[in-house]
Structures are given as structure tokens and as C-alpha cells.
Structure 1
């Protein structure tokens, strides 16, 4: 790709006449979820794009998605107490939280390494690029088998020089691996998967079963003077997620008071810094759903849950008897929240993927390069699709709880990284936004806090939303996977 001669060529094709204001972006999410419009009068948003170097309105996406989740918490508080509270979100702080894994420090030093040494972008023999995601050992080993080369960047680069980009993408996908060929946006827009999700909102909230209205559990006595009482006090969340988007959703629900129980299994790989960063506020247990006894334990937990959040491969939990329809039959009134990479419809509905891959496949890497006049692909300055999806998953869960209290029913909330990318594009472009300097760690120190954890002393980003009556916070520290027993805490 040679883009240096036309740095702004992609802007004219994909920009709206003017960028969407953050308040308007949030209002669009809010009205789409069917939540009370009077809530918007209690919201204050400060700051403006660009804050990070990008030609996309990543600050608007951060502020709107994180702000929507916080305002949904305020709406639940009003539903439970009759009182609205004020919600404020600053764009700079929201973007810091969108890069929370970058600011994590453990015992005063760097966090464990996030990326495998061969992960990243490579040119192929046809002049196009592919991105490899090899952070899980089975994905790494599968890519190396397919390439028939050593675990070394130079060896991988040489091997990919013998492939065409889309041919390698297809071969990897057929093998259950996670690889994406880089596409210009116009090519992605014509792709059958893009056509399948065109027009879908970033958050889909559907009633999937009948159940009587279920208001949230009564707050403890004198909740209005109890600093531990928050909008989701007494709400139970089963968290079946890994990596960033799903875990951010659980972390956000925990920040507003939910009892979030992370469920993993000893045989599943995990990425240490993400476990540490997104584990704040959660308890953590291990269940192997292939084991009959553990499966029975899961169903006991499901009967006591209000929300299930899952981000495994499409159909994975359904095959184990824990999909949305089964959950709604077992626990009428459940709010089931599903994350996927490319959407629940279309030829790629079952395709595995992560933020960096979806950025590559759907044109963001190409567009950022064109905007900056770079001859090589450029990623967004954060895992924007992941983090936005995480806050939108939490937003959708709380919106469904709000509607369940009034309308009854079981609910299914769907978010995909590709639909979030579609929404991000719709927010408009930021001319010359890529020229903004990327802030150093020390420049963000006012947004960080130090807390103890099961991993030692952590430096982390504080939650960016400020709620006037129920400040968001994590009452529990991050802990190693499997620290707790698979049981619910008492609701009161």
C-alpha cells in the first residue's frame, strides 16, 4: 500500500459533513435502548476530539459509550429510589480508561507482557497485509503449523511472503485461527458480512421470553446514607468472558455495585495483564463445563443470576447448554448479554476475532494510514472497538434490567465489534486528528490510583464516570483466577 501521495483521500469518502457531538451520540444510544429521556438532563460531558492521535472520533466513542453505561446506572438508581443523580464524564478520562491496560503497573513496575512476539501485521506475497493474533498458545501454534515456520518474526515474515493475504485469512479461519487480511473500507463495505450488518445498531436489545416484571431487589435499609449502596447492589452477574470487551463489561457492572462472579476453567488460556486489569470488583471461580458436576453447579448459579455476560466463540456456550434460550427457560427474567466479533448474522457470524483483527478487516488500519500519509498500516490509538463494546455491553445489560422491571420478560443483548466499528465510523472523522501527540504515562498520573490486590500493589485508572450520589468504585481487589468458590453472595 502506498498512501503517502494522498494522505486525506479516505477522509472525503467516509466523513460526514460535521462530526457527531458526544451528547448526540449518547442520546442516540439512549433512545435506541428505550430508556427514559428525562435522564439526559442529568448528564454533563466535557472535552472534545482530538485527544488521542486518530482521524476517527475515538474520544466521542469513549465518552458516549462509557457515559451511556453510567447514565443507565443512574436510571436504575432512580427506578429504585425515585431520585435522579448527576452523571459527568470527561473525554480525556474516558480515553484513559479506554487504554486502562496500558496504564497498569504492578508493584511499581511494568505489567506482564500482553502480546506474543509474532503477533502483528505482515506483508504478504501479493503486496497486501495480514494481522496475526497469537496471544493464546493454541492460536500461535496453529498459525506456525499453517506457515510451517519457527516462532520468530523473520521466519513468519518470510513464510507469509509465499501467501496471498485473503488466501491465508481463509485457510487460518478454516483451521479455527484468528487472522485478518487488511482491507480498504470500500472493499469491506462491499463484503457480504458488511452488507449483512449494515444498518444494525451497535446494541441490540431483544425480548426472548416471557416473565412477570421483576424490579431490582430492595436496597438495604438506609441505602441513601450507606456509601456501599449503588445502583446494582444485589444484582448478580455471571461473567463468562476473556480478553477486553467482555471483561470490561463485568468490571463496569461491578463498579456500580453488582456481585460479578467470573467463571473460567483451568484448561482455558488467559492473558495475565488483562486478568489483573479487568478483574477489579469481581470474584473469580473455576468450572469445567465438560464435567457433569461442574455443569450442575453452573445451573444452580444460573437460577440465582440476574445477568449473564458471555464473550466466547459464537455458539460455544450454547453447545454446553448455557446459551440464551436455555438460560431463559431455566431462569425466566434473565438478561443474557452476548459479544461477537463480526455480528450474529451473515457469512462471518461464526468467525472468531479480536479488536485488532476487526480493525484490520474493516478498513480502520488502512484509513488511519491514509489520513497520516503512512506507507504502512496504522492501528487506532487504543483497542477502541473492544472498550466501546465493553461499555455498550454493560449499558445494554442495565437497559434490559430497567425494562425488565417494567415490562417483564427475558432479554438478549447483542453487541459485536464490527457493529461498534460501524457506529464509530458514523460519528464522523477528525481532520488532522492524527497530529495530536500521544500522551505519556506521566501525563495521565492525575487519573490513576494505587490499590492492593491479589497480585500486589496495582496502579490503575480510576473509573471515568462521576456519579453524584453513588460514586463508582471497586469494592473487591483483582485476584488470581479461581480464588473463590462458585457461590453467590447474600443479596442484602
Structure 2
């Protein structure tokens, strides 16, 4: 009987249109539970990372390379699923990226809301919505006691802010947005334009060598997808604008293997430069709020008109359809809104103390699912032609994780500490200092994964292909 990780791997490959038999070439070692959780985060980690790696191996074969196996240890996969937690800068953990105001608060009706205030404009917006109160936790807690949880969540969403009400699983499953996700695979591929087949370049040292990825992402999920593609050889150019806030403690982890440049798409000259870069790209990977790039002239329709044959990959919080399809969100918020925090608390035996998953599992899994979908779309483009849209959502990934089943004794597992992953770290000199971070967990037999470029701060390179 296949392990839960192998079963999940076969299903992921099938959903991406790849032969499920590819899973037989993967060796997934380890036994669950690996982290303290009632959810199968171990199977999610191994299957999503391995699925992207096997897709890369299949693309390598299509380029004339030899078939290869993929091996993965569970502990290594879990270390990569928490890579930002195990990062060391000059021998020390980097500054905590979490804002002091972020977290769960009780409201006046007894419900709870989670605030995401890590970006200054989101923090300032919440404070303004609460009546212009000081940026202090006691003041926020007192102000929220004057609100009802669902009403404050709705008001925050209307204001473009990042707030989620705590729900249990039954309340989430009854929500219209959950209904919009039903039956949807965790990654979808859709042909959205005509173009002749694009032949893959000849085989090279790594499966994605010679393929270009234009990345416009922030935080974890989108950047993890770009980092994964870079590990398999893609040229990844990460673009951002100077006016957009960043999170250096996360970027130093996810920028490994990439070059980073600045463009402000509100400026005509920079938008023209973006169009030029797009014409030379194979993939556009973006994770900004739904509609943001469309408003700047680089939504799927225009991007594929500029570059027929483009693979356009996009991440959303709650999915492309439904009443919340345009709502902002992050992993922690989606966990709260879709029942994970309450489910973990109930399983742990502390129903009045909501618990997060032991890692940003929705973020990391979504990143590897995006990479899987992108590589599968590149294979389809080579065979059938066309421009392709790849879509993943954090809530959809949550639905997939929930479908992997629960572990009745999951909290018996000890947590992973820094000392437990010491031999899994690689050391590099970067634009931030001396970095230690987990190596890529997929061990490729013929095309070892790794990063050619050190992690560099945003805007370190010119906006051009290498």
C-alpha cells in the first residue's frame, strides 16, 4: 500500500496532466508524524516538492536528457517547508518579520479575528479603521471589543485590508467561497491563447536551463515557486518597485538563485521595459492581489498578446471564483478563515486556544504547486502550442491538505529545532551577509538541484535578461 506521501504525489501528477506512473521513480523516506500537527503536513511537503522535481525530470527527458529518479527524506522536506525559520544570517536568526500588532484578538461578540499587519500600509489601515488608535496591542485589543468579528472582517476587506475571522471547519464548509472551491484540483492549467508549439532547447546540465521566468511576487508562496524553478536551472528575474514594502527576513531566503531588479509599472518607461522583458520570457509568475497587474496592463490577456506562448502563473488567496476571489490574504489569514486554527486547537485538546499549523504549509505547498503547474504547462506548450494560464490559491491548497486526511496522534511528534537540520544547511556569501539555509530537498539522480546566484537585496541587478 503506498504511503500517504506517495498517494498524494500520484494524485498531484495526475491533476497536472503528467503520468501518475512518474511517482514510481520517487523514493520518499520517513514516517509520519514529522511535525506536531493533526494534518499531514509531511505528506504535503514531500509530495509537492517531489511533484515539481518529477515534472522537471520529465521535461529533461523531453529535451533529450536521460531519465532519473528523485529521492527525498521527510526531515529534509520539512526543513524546506520551514526554510525561513531555519535561515541564519552571520550565524544568527534574522530579525523577526512579524509586526508586533499581528495576531489573534477577541471581539465583543466572543468571536476572534486575525490581523496581518506586517506591511506598514496594512497596519496603518487597521489602526485607522479602529478609529485612529495608537499602534499598541492593548489599544487594538480594547478597540476590537467594540466590534463584532464578522462585521469587522467584512469592513476590513472592503477597505482592502488583511483581516480574517476565526472559523471552524463546519462554518467554513458552509461558506460560499468554500463552495466555489469544491471539485477544483489544487493546481489548474488552462489554454488561454493560440501559439505554435515552442520547441524545448536541447538537454543541458539542469532541466530548466535556458528557460526564462519573470517573477513579480512577494512574501513566501510566489517567491518559493521562483526559487524552485531556479533550483532546476531556470533564469529567474525578480521584479519589484521601490515604493512597495518588502520583508528582507523572507527575501534573503527566497531570493536564492535569482537576480532582482526594480521597475515601477506605473511609469510609461518602466512599463515599456517590462513589455520588452516579457517578449523574451517563457513564464510570468505573479502573486499580487487579484486584478493588480491587470490594472497596470499586464494581466493574462495582454501579456499573452505581447508574448504568444507565454505561461502565465498566478497565485490568489481564496481562488479565482466566488465572492472572495478578489480578497487579499496570506497563509496565516487563510488558515484562520478556513478552519485550520480551530481544527488544530480541537485536536490538541485546547478548543479555546486556536493553534496555527507548525509551518506556513499553505504558502510553501502553493509555491511548489505553482512550480509543478508551470513545468507541466511548458511541456504542453512544447507539444501542443498555445499560451497557458496556471492558477493556484492558498485556500485551494488548504482544501487539498485537508483532503490528505488527519493524524490522530500527530501531536506526539517533537518539533524540529535548528540543531535537527544543521547538516541540511548550505552556506553562501550573499548581498545580506553570510547565509545558512536549507538545501533543496529533492535529490535528483542526474541533474542535481541548486542555485547559481547568491541571494541579493531587491533591485541589485539591471532589469534585463542575463
Provide the TM-score with structure 2 as the length reference. 0.98
- The CA distance in 2 between the partners of 1:330 and 1:62, in whole Å, is 36
State the Cα distance separating 1:158 from its structure 2 match.
1.0
For the residue of structure 1 that corresponds to 2:402, the secondary structure is helix
Q: Deviations over 1:421-476 (max 9, x none)?
A: 00000000001202322122111112112111011100101110000111100110
Partner of 2:416: 439
* 1:161 is aligned to 2:138: no
State the Cα distance separating 1:82 from its structure 2 match.
4.4
Partner of 1:402: 379
* 1:217 is aligned to 2:201: yes
* 1:205 is aligned to 2:189: yes
Tell me: CA distance 1:20–1:172, structure 2 relative to 1, closer, same or farther (3 Å).
farther
Partner of 2:105: 122
- The CA distance in 1 between the partners of 2:96 and 2:306, in whole Å, is 40
Q: Deviations over 1:55-100 (max 9, x none)?
A: 0000000111011011111011111124111111111111110100
For the residue of structure 1 that corresponds to 2:371, the secondary structure is helix
For the residue of structure 1 that corresponds to 2:327, the secondary structure is coil
- The CA distance in 2 between the partners of 1:124 and 1:138, in whole Å, is 22
- The CA distance in 1 between the partners of 2:67 and 2:359, in whole Å, is 33
- The CA distance in 1 between the partners of 2:362 and 2:137, in whole Å, is 26
5+ residue gaps, structure 1, are 1-17, 224-228
Partner of 1:454: 431
Contact 2:11 2:20 in 1 (8 A): no
Counterpart selection for 1:59 from 42, 53, 76: 42
Partner of 1:311: 287
- The CA distance in 2 between the partners of 1:40 and 1:357, in whole Å, is 33
Contact 2:187 2:369 in 1 (8 A): yes
Correspondence list, 1:22-421, <5 A: 22-148=5-131, 149-219=133-203, 223=204, 229-374=205-350, 375-421=352-398
State the Cα distance separating 1:289 from its structure 2 match.
0.3
Tell me: CA distance 1:349–1:49, structure 2 relative to 1, closer, same or farther (3 Å).
same
Tell me: CA distance 1:28–1:37, structure 2 relative to 1, closer, same or farther (3 Å).
closer
State the Cα distance separating 1:265 from its structure 2 match.
0.3
- The CA distance in 1 between the partners of 2:124 and 2:229, in whole Å, is 35
- The CA distance in 1 between the partners of 2:103 and 2:64, in whole Å, is 49
Contact 1:19 1:428 in 2 (8 A): no
- The CA distance in 2 between the partners of 1:73 and 1:111, in whole Å, is 32
Q: Deviations over 1:278-326 (max 9, x none)?
A: 0000000000000000000000000000001000000110111111111
For the residue of structure 2 that corresponds to 1:110, the secondary structure is coil
- The CA distance in 1 between the partners of 2:356 and 2:78, in whole Å, is 16
Q: Deviations over 1:335-374 (max 9, x none)?
A: 0000000000000000000000000000000000000011
- The CA distance in 2 between the partners of 1:426 and 1:135, in whole Å, is 30
State the Cα distance separating 1:161 from its structure 2 match.
1.1
Tell me: CA distance 1:82–1:254, structure 2 relative to 1, closer, same or farther (3 Å).
closer
State the Cα distance separating 1:215 from its structure 2 match.
2.0
- The CA distance in 2 between the partners of 1:151 and 1:446, in whole Å, is 41
Contact 1:20 1:428 in 2 (8 A): no
- The CA distance in 1 between the partners of 2:148 and 2:449, in whole Å, is 49
Contact 2:46 2:74 in 1 (8 A): yes
For the residue of structure 1 that corresponds to 2:195, the secondary structure is coil
For the residue of structure 2 that corresponds to 1:290, the secondary structure is coil
5+ residue gaps, structure 2, are none
For the residue of structure 1 that corresponds to 2:428, the secondary structure is strand
* Deviation beyond 6 Å, 4+ runs, structure 1: none
State the Cα distance separating 1:33 from its structure 2 match.
1.3
- The CA distance in 2 between the partners of 1:121 and 1:156, in whole Å, is 11
Root mean square deviation, CA, Å: 1.2
Tell me: CA distance 1:19–1:177, structure 2 relative to 1, closer, same or farther (3 Å).
farther
State the Cα distance separating 1:37 from its structure 2 match.
4.2
Provide the TM-score with structure 1 as the length reference. 0.93
- The CA distance in 1 between the partners of 2:261 and 2:200, in whole Å, is 25
Partner of 2:442: 465
State the Cα distance separating 1:39 from its structure 2 match.
2.5
- The CA distance in 1 between the partners of 2:378 and 2:2, in whole Å, is 32
